[in-house]
């Protein structure tokens, strides 16, 4: 096995496409959002705060993206597991308190299922945040599909 590895990660262009798609979806459902996109290393790549988005949701959006990329799963999966007595009770205290257990963070995967980054949205309900985040994931998946089609030509 080689001593180093090359990993795929989101580009700034892709992260901006995520942000634009999320903003469009938020507007379409009558919301304003904080939208964070992290790369595969969990570091912030792009952030958008729509006019009127809750200031207290800035860190929440960033931490949702951090959690989704780092744990390779949507933050909504913890809904039932984090209550007292649940198998993940207290997990929100891990990673310096950055681990989010509220819906609205989704990983962005490549064709092989490896994490390229993640998007986190916050200001609406958890379901609304997740709906807006999904629009961003879908935008990147379209870009990946288009890139694959161009490569085949």
CA distance linking residue 14 with residue 144, whole number of Å: 9
pLDDT tens for 21-73 read: 999 999 999 999 999 999 999 999 999 999 999 999 999 999 999 999 999 99
- Structural domains in the chain, CATH included, are 15-147 (3.30.450.150)
Pick 9 or 88 by higher pLDDT: 9
The whole-number pLDDT of residue 111 equals 87
The whole-number pLDDT of residue 149 equals 67
The whole-number pLDDT of residue 98 equals 92
Is 120 in a helix, a strand, or coil?
strand
Is 116 in a helix, a strand, or coil?
strand
Q: Quick one: pLDDT band at residue 150, thresholds 50, 70, 90?
A: low
Length of the chain: 153
Q: Is 35 exposed, middle or buried (0-12, 13-18, 19+ CB in 10 A)?
A: buried
- Residue 85 φ then ψ, to 5°: 90, -15
Residues 6 or more apart in contact with residue 82 via CB below 8 angstroms: 88, 89, 90, 91, 92, 101
Residues 6 or more apart in contact with residue 121 via CB below 8 angstroms: 22, 26, 33, 34, 35, 36, 61, 64, 104, 105, 129, 130, 132, 133, 136
pLDDT tens for 98-144 read: 999 999 999 999 989 999 999 999 999 999 999 999 999 999 999 98
């Amino acid at each position: 096995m080689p001593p180093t590895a090359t990993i795929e990660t989101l580009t700034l262009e892709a992260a901006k496409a995520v942000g634009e798609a999320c903003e469009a979806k938020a507007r379409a459902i009558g919301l304003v959002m904080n939208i964070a996109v992290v790369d595969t290393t969990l570091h912030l790549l792009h952030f958008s705060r729509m006019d009127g988005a809750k200031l207290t949701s800035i860190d929440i959006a960033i931490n949702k993206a951090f959690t989704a990329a780092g744990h390779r799963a949507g933050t909504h999966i913890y809904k039932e597991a984090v209550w007292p007595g649940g198998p993940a009770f207290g997990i929100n205290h891990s990673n310096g308190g950055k681990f989010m257990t509220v819906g609205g963070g989704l990983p962005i995967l490549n064709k092989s299922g490896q994490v390229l980054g993640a998007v986190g949205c916050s200001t609406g309900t958890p379901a609304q945040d997740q709906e807006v985040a999904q629009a961003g994931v879908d935008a990147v998946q379209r870009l990946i599909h288009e890139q694959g089609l161009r490569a085949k030509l």
